[in-house]
């Protein structure tokens, strides 16, 4: 056989091997995984080649988006995740569905959730995100695994210590007062209609930019605007069938995503270079005590420094991740708190009385905020009913048994916070009602299961920014209640939607009246 014949045979072997690989991924694995779960009594919607269950998800979501809920109802599951409402009624609380080629096991048991989230042996890892999600969310702490995650977390931890966060309250208040002064200055007849979801997005961009970038917050905001556009692109494509490799094709959508990502990275790189070129010897950390300064101090160009290191690309990705995790979630959280206070005016009155008692009309500090017990209870109840992140994902790195379930390797486990937080089994007959008093004795005593509230996750990967989010939220709500009484605008439609975060589909218009 000549060289040409040998090359042809080799090519044929490669082609056959690739075809067999594709068949294994597209046909054999879905069959084997489905059979494994069926033998354990776990059923689910049928698998379609390449698209999995995405077509049915998209169809049910399209119908749900055309409806609006009663504003007095906090039972939002059917509108936010209609496919899961349909499937759980057909297949039970635990079922299997296919996100394209990825098998997903849907669970709503807090005991199983605790077991998965508290695991420290690296068996349950964050599943690999779609390329668009990685570009939008940044390949930082929320998405990375293993030793990289441990290294990044160890470097970032000092920036989120409570002592440092307490010192940021004044800056948070300054940003909030500026927003509220604008509300008052543009009020007509002592009232003003405001779309607060957009307002809170801009406010949290200011606060996060100050927190992360210090004096460079204006440039940071420019990067954030581009990243918000990336979020919209990512949310719009979340139920589309993903074909591996398509992210490299120069389609109009991909080209737009590349341009936005390049703008974000170039802006962040210029901020980092500016900090490197102008160190501040007045701080305990010469590059600043904020998150950016903490990470720059660990830059790998400083070979003489001990401890874990980051390279420039990793710092940029962490800055992106911090903005997404801190900005969008807290803005969503604040929006739903205002909605609940508008719907339950008696609680708005109670909170205002507590704020005026503990803070008067002064700018609050961390010690004042710590005394606001009713405010804290309302925050916890808002996180229960309208948690910005309604699902958590983990993926088994090996065949694993949890409870009575044997889970094949690479199965993605979807923990349905939205279901756990509303379950009458754990929260009682009023599970779908607003009742902050359930938290009067703390989180562990509020429900029949101590882990029935997972608003910031659980275990080693508990949200690193939870204290920052709570401080920013309490500062904002305190300053609003000192100055305004709030009510829903007549045109408000109760249309929560899962755009990667739980948000009001058409915003939250309210009427703000200066408080006398």
Annotated binding-site residue numbers for heme: 463
Return the structure tokens found at 514: 């200066």
**Sign of the dihedral defined by the CA atoms of residues 262, 263, 264, 268, in that order:** positive
Instruction: Centre a 10 Å sphere on the Cβ of residue 258 and count the other Cβ atoms it contains.
Output: 13
Return the structure tokens found at 128: 């690999």
Return the structure tokens found at 113: 């959730």
Return the structure tokens found at 477: 């709500």
Return the structure tokens found at 79: 């509108």
Indicate the helix (H) or strand (E) that contains 496: strand 496-499
150 phi, psi to nearest 5 deg: -60, -40
Is residue 470 within 8 Å of residue 412, measured between CB atoms? no
Question: Residue 288: left if φ>0, alpha if ψ -120 to 50, beta else—which one?
Answer: left
Distance of CA 121 to the CA centre of its chain: 24
Please tell me the distance from the alpha carbon of residue 213 to that of residue 291, in angstroms, as a whole number: 7
Would strands 412-416 and 102-107 be described as parallel, antiparallel, or unpaired?
A: parallel
* Residue (of 157, 446, 414) closest to 291 by Cα position: 157
Please tell me the distance from the alpha carbon of residue 341 to that of residue 285, in angstroms, as a whole number: 41
Instruction: Centre a 10 Å sphere on the Cβ of residue 169 and count the other Cβ atoms it contains.
Output: 20
Q: Which residues pair with 400 in a beta bridge?
A: 407
Please tell me the distance from the alpha carbon of residue 392 to that of residue 398, in angstroms, as a whole number: 19
Return the structure tokens found at 140: 């930082």
Please tell me the distance from the alpha carbon of residue 325 to that of residue 208, in angstroms, as a whole number: 10
Indicate the helix (H) or strand (E) that contains 258: helix 252-277
* Residue (of 109, 110, 79) closest to 94 by Cα position: 109
DSSP state of 455: B
> Residue with structure tokens 């009575």?
404
Is residue 132 within 8 Å of residue 233, measured between CB atoms? yes
> Binding site: which residues?
463
Please tell me the distance from the alpha carbon of residue 275 to that of residue 297, in angstroms, as a whole number: 11
Please tell me the distance from the alpha carbon of residue 113 to that of residue 451, in angstroms, as a whole number: 8
SS3 406: strand
* Residue (of 492, 412, 499, 494) closest to 195 by Cα position: 492
């Amino acid at each position: 056989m000549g060289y040409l014949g040998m090359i042809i045979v080799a090519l044929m072997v490669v082609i056959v091997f690739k075809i067999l690989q594709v068949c294994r991924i597209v046909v054999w694995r879905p069959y084997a995984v489905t059979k494994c779960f069926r033998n354990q009594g776990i059923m689910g919607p049928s698998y379609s080649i390449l698209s999995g269950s995405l077509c049915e998800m998209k169809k049910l979501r399209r119908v749900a988006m055309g409806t609006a809920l009663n504003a007095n109802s906090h039972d939002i599951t059917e509108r936010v995740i209609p496919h899961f409402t349909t499937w759980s009624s057909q297949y039970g609380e635990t079922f299997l569905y296919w996100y394209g080629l990825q098998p997903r096991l849907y669970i709503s048991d807090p005991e199983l959730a605790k077991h998965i989230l508290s695991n420290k042996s690296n068996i349950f890892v964050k599943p690999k995100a779609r390329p668009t999600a990685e570009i939008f969310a940044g390949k930082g702490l929320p998405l990375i695994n293993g030793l990289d995650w441990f290294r990044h977390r160890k470097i970032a931890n000092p920036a989120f210590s409570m002592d440092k966060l307490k010192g940021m309250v004044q800056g948070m208040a300054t940003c909030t007062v500026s927003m509220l002064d604008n509300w008052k200055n543009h009020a007509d007849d002592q009232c003003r209609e405001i779309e607060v979801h957009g307002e809170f997005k801009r406010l949290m961009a200011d606060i996060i930019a100050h927190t992360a970038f210090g004096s460079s917050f204006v440039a940071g905001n420019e990067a954030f605007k581009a990243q918000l556009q990336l979020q919209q692109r990512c949310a719009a494509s979340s139920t589309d069938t993903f074909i591996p490799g398509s992210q490299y094709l120069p389609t109009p959508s991909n080209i737009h995503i590349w341009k936005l990502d390049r703008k974000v990275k170039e802006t962040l790189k210029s901020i980092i270079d500016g900090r490197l070129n102008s160190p501040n010897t007045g701080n305990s950390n010469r590059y600043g005590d904020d998150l950016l300064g903490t990470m720059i101090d660990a830059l790998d160009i400083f070979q003489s420094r001990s401890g874990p290191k980051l390279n420039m690309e990793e710092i940029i990705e962490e800055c992106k991740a911090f903005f997404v995790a801190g900005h969008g979630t807290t803005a969503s959280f604040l929006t739903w708190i205002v909605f609940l206070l508008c719907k339950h005016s008696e609680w708005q009155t109670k909170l205002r009385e507590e704020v005026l008692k503990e803070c008067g009309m002064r700018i609050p500090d961390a010690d004042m905020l710590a005394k606001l017990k009713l405010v804290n209870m309302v925050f916890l109840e808002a996180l229960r009913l309208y948690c910005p992140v309604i699902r958590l994902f983990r993926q088994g790195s090996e065949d694993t048994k949890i409870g009575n379930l044997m889970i094949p390797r690479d199965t993605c486990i979807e923990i349905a916070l939205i279901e756990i937080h509303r379950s009458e089994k754990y929260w009682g007959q009023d599970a779908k009602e607003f009742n902050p008093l359930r938290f009067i004795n703390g989180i562990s005593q509020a429900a029949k299961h101590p882990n029935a509230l997972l608003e910031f996750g659980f275990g080693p990967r508990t949200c690193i920014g939870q204290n920052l989010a709570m401080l920013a939220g309490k500062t904002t709500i305190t300053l609003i209640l000192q100055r305004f009484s709030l009510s829903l605008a007549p045109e408000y439609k109760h249309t929560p939607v899962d755009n990667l975060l739980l948000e009001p589909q058409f915003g939250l218009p309210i009427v703000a009246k200066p408080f006398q």
